[in-house]
Chains A and B, each alone.
Chain A
Amino acid sequence: MTNFSMAVLTVQNITKKFPRVKALDNVSFEVPQGSVFGILGPNGSGKTTLLGIIMDVLKASEGQYLWNGEAGNAQQRRKVGTLLETPNFYHYLSAEKNLEIAAAIKGYPKDDIERVLKIVNLYERKDSSFSTFSLGMKQRLAIASTLLGNPSTLVFDEPTNGLDPAGIAEIRRLIKNLSEQGKTIIMASHILDEVEKVCSHVAILQKGVLKTSGTVSEVLANNEEDEQIIEISAANLDQLRELVTTFPGVNKISGNNGVLQIYCKNEITPESINRQCYSQNIILSHLSVRRKNLETRFLEITDENKPVL
């Protein structure tokens, strides 16, 4: 358990039932201060529902949440910059007027609008009405709105949605930048790569159930199995496979595109594999150790046929 006072957000046993589906089932976790906390899950796993509940636009069926140790309320929300689901703005008002409304609700002066519009490169379009914006521009305006008043906590729901590759890189840089300033960032995403690249912590949701949560390295590490992946290749792949199967400590071999992936104990080193193959007259054309990435972990964790951890 992390120190209670350090948690920016505490989610306790939250369950959300919709008429036909249980969108969240007894979900609990804590978001430590200063972390970039990724909520990862496929579409429909309950990410947005969870964020909706902690922002009071949805009501939990059971459970509660605390912001900085206090039951959530309007005052708390003013200090959190949030982008939930889609950019929601008055379509007939300009970017600037829309941000004036957001600033007025949050209780901040208008002075900050120029700064946040410049961060997302929309300052030149500040007088254009929201309805004329492209999806990417709408998304950027929504991100600008979250930055109003320079809040210490930010909540982003699929922040790179609708952005082109350059825009995606830009937003990731922005998130890294914000994190370096010591801000706490809570980010929902279905893009594994995105979470792995920017997050320090991750919670994995599947069908409303929290599968695991912790630091990214904790989640990546598979403590019970101490497993790693070594990739090898040789001219005669069948012969190689036959040989490797006899090695002690090899759990599983899978192969694609002329490369064998050996799931094996951490004791097995690339050198030992190389030496044993060489002694059997098999010359390796490829040898590499692959760190398990979040994608493999995610697929393992969300594989329903397999018990988790």
Chain B
Amino acid sequence: MWRLFKIEWMKIKSYVAFKFLFGGFLVLFILAFWTTAQQFMKQFSGKSIEEVVLKNLVGSPFVFPKVWQSAAWMGGLFFIIIGMLFIILIANEFQYKTHRQNIIDGWDRMDFIKAKLSVLLFFLLTSTALVFVSGLLIGLIYTPSGELGNIFEGSIYILYFMLMALVYLLVAFFTAIIIKRTGLSIVVYFGLVFVIDNLLWASLTLKGSQIGYFLPLESVDSLIPNPFTPKMLMKREVPDWSLIAAAVVYSILFLYTLRKHFKKIDL
């Protein structure tokens, strides 16, 4: 896998879109998380009645332990950039037929899949590390020193972020392999993430059903609720473990289908 990743790295390290989008994710996330934290803490430091009420409703999103949830949620907001980048990296191979050349030159078909999974892993680990470090730093900055207990309490949200990133990247992988055209793959991916997933979820949830939470993307989205939404507005009743189980099952299904599909198609 490491050998395959080194070859993938040769392909992407000087690719402009890679630098731009990966760098964009890093910068946007850090800036957004940090400035939101700063603005929020400044505004809610006052003692007015409204502020106290609001504070009781949403808690303290930038203080341990809730800061982990906020970091994971904000990471999720920007992660679509990485999903798009991953699609570009895969669909480009099809567009320029370099996937064929890789195989002609001596990769097994599964080597191609494994190589892309190594890139997926790279995105997964770097983005999770970024979210973790950001959560930790913001938490340390804004948690009053007297209230610093076990700072890693609630850091399970970092693992939830990782699971979310995995599912989003697998959906991206799947979309790119099936559609093979860079532009169209991105359009379909955005459609799935922003339109289809939300519409299905809304129509199911408004009927009072909990099934909507088990949609592939929704299962991981719901694991990390919006930290600014008051608890009383949450409609989810299904427990975290069931969503985790759903996400794991989806991941295995995606990988299995991908593998089977790629083994038999004409490239």
Shortest CB–CB separation between residue B150 and chain A, in angstroms? 46
Bound complex: CA of A73 vs CA of B7, how far in Å? Answer: 20
Bound complex: CA of A84 vs CA of B97, how far in Å? Answer: 10
Q: Interface code B106-125, partner A: CB below 8 Å = 1, 0 otherwise?
A: 11110100000000000000
| B10 adjacent to chain A (CB < 8 Å) | yes
| B14 adjacent to chain A (CB < 8 Å) | yes
Chain B binding surface SS class: helix
Bound complex: CA of A90 vs CA of B14, how far in Å? Answer: 11
Query: In the bound complex, do residue B106 and residue A77 qualify as a contact, i.e. CB atoms below 8 Å apart?
Result: yes
| B147 adjacent to chain A (CB < 8 Å) | no
Most buried by A among B14, B98, B100, B107: B100
Residue among A52, A59, A85, A89 making CB contact with B98, cutoff 8 Å: A89
Chain A contacts for B103, CB-based, 8 A: 55-57, 74, 77
| A106 adjacent to chain B (CB < 8 Å) | yes
Residue among B14, B97, B107, B265 making CB contact with A105, cutoff 8 Å: B107
Query: In the bound complex, do residue B100 and residue A77 qualify as a contact, i.e. CB atoms below 8 Å apart?
Result: no
Chain B contacts for A125, CB-based, 8 A: none
Bound complex: CA of A208 vs CA of B11, how far in Å? Answer: 37
Shortest CB–CB separation between residue B202 and chain A, in angstroms? 39
With contact pairs A78-B105, A90-B98 given, residues A58 and B11 touching in the complex (Cβ less than 8 Å): no
Bound complex: CA of A246 vs CA of B255, how far in Å? Answer: 77
Query: In the bound complex, do residue B96 and residue A91 qualify as a contact, i.e. CB atoms below 8 Å apart?
Result: yes
Number of residues from B at the complex interface, CB < 8 A: 25
Chain A contacts for B237, CB-based, 8 A: none
Query: In the bound complex, do residue B7 and residue A104 qualify as a contact, i.e. CB atoms below 8 Å apart?
Result: yes
| B16 adjacent to chain A (CB < 8 Å) | yes
Query: In the bound complex, do residue A101 and residue B97 qualify as a contact, i.e. CB atoms below 8 Å apart?
Result: no
| B15 adjacent to chain A (CB < 8 Å) | yes
Chain B contacts for A105, CB-based, 8 A: 7, 102, 105-107
B-contacting residues, A81-97, CB 8 Å: 82, 84-86, 88-93, 97
Most buried by A among B6, B96, B109: B96
Bound complex: CA of A57 vs CA of B107, how far in Å? Answer: 11
Chain B contacts for A59, CB-based, 8 A: 264-266
Query: In the bound complex, do residue B106 and residue A57 qualify as a contact, i.e. CB atoms below 8 Å apart?
Result: no
Chain B contacts for A102, CB-based, 8 A: 101, 105
Bound complex: CA of A85 vs CA of B267, how far in Å? Answer: 13
Residue among A77, A88, A92 making CB contact with B16, cutoff 8 Å: A92
Bound complex: CA of A88 vs CA of B100, how far in Å? Answer: 8
Bound complex: CA of A78 vs CA of B108, how far in Å? Answer: 10
Chain B contacts for A97, CB-based, 8 A: 10, 14
With contact pairs A58-B266, A90-B98 given, residues A100 and B10 touching in the complex (Cβ less than 8 Å): yes
Query: In the bound complex, do residue B105 and residue A106 qualify as a contact, i.e. CB atoms below 8 Å apart?
Result: yes
A-contacting residues, B66-83, CB 8 Å: none
Bound complex: CA of A78 vs CA of B96, how far in Å? Answer: 21
With contact pairs A89-B96, A90-B96 given, residues A73 and B102 touching in the complex (Cβ less than 8 Å): no
Shortest CB–CB separation between residue B265 and chain A, in angstroms? 7
Bound complex: CA of A282 vs CA of B107, how far in Å? Answer: 70
Chain A contacts for B101, CB-based, 8 A: 84, 88-89, 102
Rank and list the top 7 A-B pairs by shortest CB-CB distance, nearest first.
Answer: A78-B106, A88-B101, A74-B108, A88-B97, A105-B105, A57-B267, A57-B100
Binding site for A on B (CB under 8 A): 6-7, 10-11, 14-16, 96-98, 100-109, 111, 264-267
Can you identify 30 A-B contacts, CB atoms within 8 angstroms?
A: A56-B109, A57-B100, A57-B267, A58-B266, A59-B266, A74-B107, A74-B108, A74-B111, A77-B103, A78-B106, A82-B104, A84-B104, A88-B101, A89-B96, A89-B98, A89-B101, A90-B11, A90-B15, A91-B96, A92-B14, A92-B16, A93-B11, A100-B10, A101-B7, A101-B10, A101-B11, A102-B101, A105-B105, A105-B106, A106-B105
Known contacts A75-B106, A84-B104, A93-B11, then 18 further A-B pairs from the complex at CB < 8 Å, ordered by chain A residue: A55-B104, A57-B104, A57-B266, A58-B267, A59-B265, A74-B103, A74-B111, A82-B104, A82-B105, A84-B101, A88-B96, A88-B98, A100-B10, A104-B10, A105-B7, A105-B105, A106-B105, A106-B106
